[in-house]
Amino acid sequence: MIRIKVINPNTSPDMTASIDRIAKAHAPIGVEVVTTCPSAGPVSIESYYDEYLAVPNVLAEVQRDPHFDGFVLACWGDPGVDAVRETTIKPVVSIAEASMYAANAIAPRWSVVTTLARSHHMVEAIVQKTGLTARCASIRCLDLPVLACETDPEAIVTGLEMLSRQALQEDKAEAIVLGCAGMGGLDRRLSDRLGVPVVDPVAAGVRFATVLVEMKLQTSKWLTYRYPEMKAGGWNESLKS
Amino acid sequence: MIRIKVINPNTSPDMTASIDRIAKAHAPIGVEVVTTCPSAGPVSIESYYDEYLAVPNVLAEVQRDPHFDGFVLACWGDPGVDAVRETTIKPVVSIAEASMYAANAIAPRWSVVTTLARSHHMVEAIVQKTGLTARCASIRCLDLPVLACETDPEAIVTGLEMLSRQALQEDKAEAIVLGCAGMGGLDRRLSDRLGVPVVDPVAAGVRFATVLVEMKLQTSKWLTYRYPEMKAGGWNESLKS
Amino acid sequence: MIRIKVINPNTSPDMTASIDRIAKAHAPIGVEVVTTCPSAGPVSIESYYDEYLAVPNVLAEVQRDPHFDGFVLACWGDPGVDAVRETTIKPVVSIAEASMYAANAIAPRWSVVTTLARSHHMVEAIVQKTGLTARCASIRCLDLPVLACETDPEAIVTGLEMLSRQALQEDKAEAIVLGCAGMGGLDRRLSDRLGVPVVDPVAAGVRFATVLVEMKLQTSKWLTYRYPEMKAGGWNESLKS
Amino acid sequence: MIRIKVINPNTSPDMTASIDRIAKAHAPIGVEVVTTCPSAGPVSIESYYDEYLAVPNVLAEVQRDPHFDGFVLACWGDPGVDAVRETTIKPVVSIAEASMYAANAIAPRWSVVTTLARSHHMVEAIVQKTGLTARCASIRCLDLPVLACETDPEAIVTGLEMLSRQALQEDKAEAIVLGCAGMGGLDRRLSDRLGVPVVDPVAAGVRFATVLVEMKLQTSKWLTYRYPEMKAGGWNESLKS
Amino acid sequence: MIRIKVINPNTSPDMTASIDRIAKAHAPIGVEVVTTCPSAGPVSIESYYDEYLAVPNVLAEVQRDPHFDGFVLACWGDPGVDAVRETTIKPVVSIAEASMYAANAIAPRWSVVTTLARSHHMVEAIVQKTGLTARCASIRCLDLPVLACETDPEAIVTGLEMLSRQALQEDKAEAIVLGCAGMGGLDRRLSDRLGVPVVDPVAAGVRFATVLVEMKLQTSKWLTYRYPEMKAGGWNESLKS
Amino acid sequence: MIRIKVINPNTSPDMTASIDRIAKAHAPIGVEVVTTCPSAGPVSIESYYDEYLAVPNVLAEVQRDPHFDGFVLACWGDPGVDAVRETTIKPVVSIAEASMYAANAIAPRWSVVTTLARSHHMVEAIVQKTGLTARCASIRCLDLPVLACETDPEAIVTGLEMLSRQALQEDKAEAIVLGCAGMGGLDRRLSDRLGVPVVDPVAAGVRFATVLVEMKLQTSKWLTYRYPEMKAGGWNESLKS
């Protein structure tokens, strides 16, 4: 039995439940999925500020459960993914990368559509970090908050359909990547309307993590992701108090 | 039951058997894998010339079995992958791309090691086409023929170990991608010697194709991969005879 | 006397004749041009599928006439150009590259205009392979079949003029490359209407091939384009029959 | 009077004092510099893990003193710089970028030399994010801990000299950027030995921040760096307790 | 006392006076600025032709005053900046690079707006040479002559505001760089209208040059910018007279 | 009769004669070649300083003979090529670009070998401007002056052979481009020793210019290369005298 821990880095119970639903629906036979979120932190991750406040608790989520076989970071902004990779040898998959790999195999160019206007350059940075800039046709953003995925899914679908059509017609995209963990379940509705494949990132993340676990591929500890040093006097608690 | 057809584009029975062994070992529960090779064509693909002679028969292999749920192209040179994607709506995975996605998720940079010296720029072109040039630390090639994987695996392992050490130490790679379908089973031996993850491309291809099938993601028919036109007078058989 | 063989990879007699007319008109003094097309294969190359079915016969056209001094591949999709370069030491020029070199010398940025909408990313790949992505302002495609160049040239010219104006005004192109071998003779008409240089690819191909022949530059056999190996048991004819 | 706050993201008192010494020495006339470090956190930042644990306290350092005119992030890994830019409209300068700008103006290509072997790809990512990959000749790393800058400066200088010579001779660098805030004061010694300019990042950071303040240039709040939303129920403290 | 020489490469007295006004207003305490222009040459630099005719006199301006501590080249086209760097060891700052560095520190992406339509690809080349192509959102040009900055500033401001809004809304820029030395003083007016930071290049140039001087950073003489050789018979005056 | 003017931008009579010899040897039938050099200026171009002093006289060489059909700029550093293109509508070919196009058609990757160590980054900039960075395997430089091509050709050949072998073996080049106009005639000797094609840039320049002339392709006057404006008061002769 393979056990995958899916971590929603924000603390929204609704989004965690939604992610869990998709993750369980896509858990292959023989894979147990547990979805959690940090015990404290921002209810949504809509800025770098949110990201940096969320990550220490994300790291704690990983360290609490070292015996899981793999981890999925269920936020398209992949907050702290490099730090997570340092704290465990188990494979760590960001839903961003997994969804881009899936799109890359079925279309020459794809676009990322997402909610927050302000995340445009952040998404661009993640695509670049993954190495796939040359395959990304465009990034198109609504101007709706992340949690609207839970509260007003119809507005989200309508908006994403509009953005996707622009991507297909003006940017020469041929498939669509949903750029938010909260969009679970919208992939089929959108794909039906558009007539092109649409990738659900949580589904891709769970399935791709399973692939790595089954292949016994672990995070490389050669250089960058070596475990952090246990420094003598490595942590100061109250320099100023 | 999901059915995946793995196509070895060359006609070597030994290599086909070897690919089949790996492919079956990595078929997830509920997935049936059938490995074939074309009925005619070059016994190994070691040049562009070989590739172009092999592809028409590879296409026939796909068209013969339209009811498979997905296809894996089991040659790191991914001969004809774009043409295969035009002839079917089922997902088509090249073992090259699948192995790079796996490496990308476990290491900041990775190298491709392979047999043929002459394939250096060909491998470079495939990495670039996949979009992952910025993540590839280097390509390093032995100067051995492809079929040496079958006839002299020990020479291959020793050679690959040397190349991999150079990649890790001089090129800052942190994981290794085996750049040939014939290297199945060498991943564990090499990984044990090197202490870094080593990706078997056939295993990655079969598993990643299953992911796409299970996610119901099909090849986009929006633009590039539309089915080829049935042209009136679309084929001339004997202009000069 | 220099002898150049121009190969139209499709089997359309009309397009072959049209290419021959342009090629002969641009043969420098002292150069004999022979234009042929394969004896069998698709009548037009409008997909990767067409390309892969055409190439084996293109290779045969090269091998049939080893004594020519140079070869021109007269299709902007340069089908099989790397394989052709493996089969001969004579210089092999694709009309795509030759037309881009010419445009590159007379304008800071240029655009490729062509017929088939579906070829957009294919053209992009050819520009990238040639290495000139940074100099290409845009690719703009009509949605007309390749053979419309023969049957409805007026529609082609009108469409190309519209695309070219968009390229000049919106994309900052300053010259136009005709992205199809069938557009021979349209360059002057289009140039007169637009007021910028327009490059005919077949003309560029024949003239650039002559340059290489006269400079005694042959295809490098150092690594990538070495002749394909004569493999023992290198070809299997009937594995399954 | 302009007031600049220099934040050392780690909690080493020695390194903070060392940074302060350089920062004050480079404060232009009319500029008051205050150097601080977080009250709690890792004593050195040698991994992504360290970075993510340090940043929340770095952000608190900025928020505690909103009336400063500008901020300098005194760690070459620029931990949390994007989040800092969201929390203030004052200019925020990372010593990494400032040192690269200085090098860029005095040499066609430059190299970054630093302590930690494991930070190689992290430095590469920072150069890329700054946009200057094409101007960076190489990154070369010792394998010494960050705090060795304080405890064994001679070993650091000797090591950096060796790396720098390799960069100048093998990588075609023409100037050297010191890739660690702890290397303050080593620039002149190294420059004297090498005969090329060597950039001290803390000095560059303080001076470049002053430039932005004097030019009244503030962080753009147009899109990416808008202040984080005050979300209703924006923070969950104890979901699980 | 630091002395900076600002060189306007064109010979317009009005523009030289305007540059001098901005340069003096931005000279830090303890810095004396002298602004000059060549004694002969084109009154504005609006083409490569103008640039090449202007540069010999620009070089003479540098050689006439070797005792200045630093030089600022006050034309966004940075005519002859590499040659200037060969003729002096003092730091030489182009206003183009200095303005891009400032924008880079306050916004994830920025656009350059300028007067001359014909300079579009020239500006692109300067951004690329500086190494910042990946951070530049777009280049947008009016179609007004350079000297209109002096004769019709209102038309310039109105035009730049329109271009800037397009850059912010369509190109995802978040700050604006003024791409002409003649636009001094327009930065605040434009910034007030747009609500984003606008960078004055002359101000940035003078301040950034001061930073380099105060840091004692000189032009590297390692390789590219070595002083030109005093060649035996190095100059022919009248081969044909 | 086509007339091509070849301009050697330096004033060395020996090098002009040497260039003329190659140029005439490669003039196609029906092409008259005239080789000149400026009447005054540096005897060799070994720095940006030399380049900028040479170009005004190069421009005069073009303007003196407007009736030539095409121009070849016979220096691999292509000094002032953009300015030359502004002053004439006739095609202007730099020997640098012509030699790279030729190499590009016969090898997947090629290297530039040249004399001056200091020109390394200058050559890199020219390759990038031509757009062919991705196809250039490496740049390798001797440390000999340009005129050594005339005075000590044997030392040049021996040095170039060594550099070329490094390029072929270490950098994966498959052809060699001679990066100096003075190396005329060395191509065959070097090619015979190396066993790979070696491109003579003057020969390539003359032949490629002829191609453009025969195709009636002229320099685009759409935007960048418009003729320089005749400015009212466009030139100041004696501001300070």
- Token pair 């100061």: residue: A236
CA atoms within 13 Å, Cβ hemisphere of F154: 0
Q: In this structure, are strands D2-7 and E70-73 parallel, antiparallel, or unpaired?
A: unpaired
Q: In this structure, are strands B41-42 and C235-236 parallel, antiparallel, or unpaired?
A: antiparallel
Examine chains B and A and say if they touch (3+ CB pairs below 8 A): yes
Cβ-based burial of E60 (10 A; exposed 0-12, middle 13-18, buried ≥19): middle
pLDDT of residue A236: 76
Count Cβ–Cβ pairs < 8 Å, chain A vs chain D.
Answer: 139
| Chain D residues with beta carbon closer than 8 angstroms to that of F121 | 108-109, 172
Whether C11 contacts B239, CB under 8 Å: yes
Query: Mean per-residue pLDDT for E145-173?
Result: 89
Closest chain A residue to the Cα of C139, Cα to Cα? A172
- Are F197 and C174 a contacting pair at CB < 8 A? no
pLDDT of residue A238: 52
Residues of chain C short of pLDDT 70, as ranges, are: 230-233, 237-241
User: DSSP of D20-84, one letter per residue?
Assistant: HHHHHHTPPTTEEEEEE--SSEESS--SHHHHHHHHHHHHHHHHH-TTSSEEEE-STT-TTHHHH
- Min CA distance, C38 vs chain E (Å)? 43
Q: Report whether pLDDT(A235) > 80.
A: no
Closest chain D residue to the Cα of A84, Cα to Cα? D49
| Chain E residues with beta carbon closer than 8 angstroms to that of F11 | 235-236, 239
Confidence of residue D240 (pLDDT cuts 50, 70, 90): very low
| Chain D residues with beta carbon closer than 8 angstroms to that of B172 | 120-121
Chain B contact for C35 (CB, 8 A cutoff) = no
Q: Which residues are registered as beta bridge partners of A94?
A: A73
Q: Token pair of F196, please?
A: 């790979």
pLDDT of residue F171: 97
- Are B132 and A132 a contacting pair at CB < 8 A? yes
The full set of domains in chain A, from first to last, is 2-94+203-214 (3.40.50.12500), 96-201 (3.40.50.12500)
**Torsion angles phi and psi, residue C39, rounded to 5:** -75, -20
Query: Mean per-residue pLDDT for A50-67?
Result: 95
- Min CA distance, D169 vs chain B (Å)? 17
- Are B28 and A26 a contacting pair at CB < 8 A? no
Q: Which of B110, B172, B174 to mutate to test the interface with D (most CBs of D within 10 A)?
A: B172
| Chain B residues with beta carbon closer than 8 angstroms to that of C236 | 11, 39-41, 43
Chain B contact for A37 (CB, 8 A cutoff) = no
Chain C contact for B222 (CB, 8 A cutoff) = no
- Min CA distance, E168 vs chain C (Å)? 18
Query: Mean per-residue pLDDT for D6-35?
Result: 96
Q: Which amino acid is at D83?
A: A
Chain D contact for F165 (CB, 8 A cutoff) = no
Compute the distance between CA of residue A34 and CA of residue A41 in angstroms, rounded to an integer.
19
**Which percentage of chain F shows pLDDT scores above 70?**
96
- Are D28 and E28 a contacting pair at CB < 8 A? yes
pLDDT of residue C239: 44
Ordered alpha helix ranges (H), chain B: 13-25, 48-64, 81-87, 95-106, 120-130, 148-151, 153-170, 186-194, 201-214
- Min CA distance, C108 vs chain F (Å)? 7
- Min CA distance, E83 vs chain F (Å)? 4
Cβ-based burial of E233 (10 A; exposed 0-12, middle 13-18, buried ≥19): exposed
Q: Strand A31-36's sheet: what is its strand order? A: A31-36, A2-7, A70-73, A92-94
What residues 86-125 of chain A have any CB closer than 8 A to a CB of chain C?
Answer: 108-109
User: DSSP of F152-204, one letter per residue?
Assistant: -HHHHHHHHHHHHHHHHHHS---EEEE--GGGTTHHHHHHHHHSS-EE-HHHH
Cβ-based burial of B73 (10 A; exposed 0-12, middle 13-18, buried ≥19): buried
All chains having 3 or more CB pairs closer than 8 angstroms to chain B: A, C, D, F
The ipTM estimated for the assembled molecules is: 0.96
Compute the distance between CA of residue E208 and CA of residue D204 in angstroms, rounded to an integer.
10
Q: Report whether pLDDT(D239) > 50.
A: no
Confidence of residue F240 (pLDDT cuts 50, 70, 90): very low
| Chain A residues with beta carbon closer than 8 angstroms to that of D46 | 228-229, 231
Residue in B106, B172, B195 nearest the CB of A212:
B106
CA distances (Å), origin D59, targets A234, B240, D38, E105, F215:
20, 78, 9, 18, 64
| Chain B residues with beta carbon closer than 8 angstroms to that of A135 | 130-131
**Looking at per-residue confidence, does D48 or D143 come out higher?**
D48
Residue in F26, F98, F132 nearest the CB of C132:
F132
- Min CA distance, F147 vs chain E (Å)? 10
Whether A118 contacts D223, CB under 8 Å: yes
Q: Token pair of D155, please?
A: 């070993």
CA atoms within 13 Å, Cβ hemisphere of C67: 2
- Residue A131, SS3? coil
What residues 175-214 of chain E have any CB closer than 8 A to a CB of chain F?
Answer: none
- Min CA distance, A95 vs chain D (Å)? 19
pLDDT of residue B216: 98
pLDDT of residue B151: 81
**Which percentage of chain F shows pLDDT scores above 90?**
85
Q: Report whether pLDDT(D236) > 60.
A: yes
CA distances (Å), origin C240, targets B6, B40, F216:
17, 8, 57
- Min CA distance, B180 vs chain F (Å)? 20
Count Cβ–Cβ pairs < 8 Å, chain D vs chain F.
Answer: 4
User: DSSP of C64-85, one letter per residue?
Assistant: H-TTSSEEEE-STT-TTHHHHH
pLDDT of residue A241: 37
- Token pair 């004669």: residue: F17
- A150-195: pLDDT as tens digits: 788 888 999 999 999 999 999 999 999 999 998 888 999 999 999 9
Count Cβ–Cβ pairs < 8 Å, chain A vs chain B.
Answer: 149
Q: Tens place of pLDDT for every residue, chain B, 241 residues?
A: 999 999 999 999 999 999 999 999 999 999 999 999 998 999 999 999 999 999 999 999 999 999 999 999 999 999 999 999 999 999 999 999 999 999 999 999 999 999 899 999 999 999 999 999 999 999 999 988 777 777 888 889 999 999 999 999 999 999 999 999 988 889 999 999 999 999 999 999 999 999 999 999 999 999 999 998 766 557 776 544 3
Closest chain E residue to the Cα of C173, Cα to Cα? E121
- E99-156: pLDDT as tens digits: 999 999 999 999 999 989 999 999 999 999 999 999 999 999 998 877 777 788 888 9
Chain D contact for A74 (CB, 8 A cutoff) = no
- Give the number of residues written for chain D: 241
pLDDT of residue D241: 37
Q: Which amino acid is at A237?
A: E
**Torsion angles phi and psi, residue A79, rounded to 5:** -60, 120
Whether D102 contacts E215, CB under 8 Å: yes
Cβ-based burial of D171 (10 A; exposed 0-12, middle 13-18, buried ≥19): middle
CA distances (Å), origin A188, targets A15, A177, B76, C93:
19, 12, 32, 47
Of A37, A65, A28, residue with least CA distance to A181: A37
Cβ-based burial of F183 (10 A; exposed 0-12, middle 13-18, buried ≥19): buried
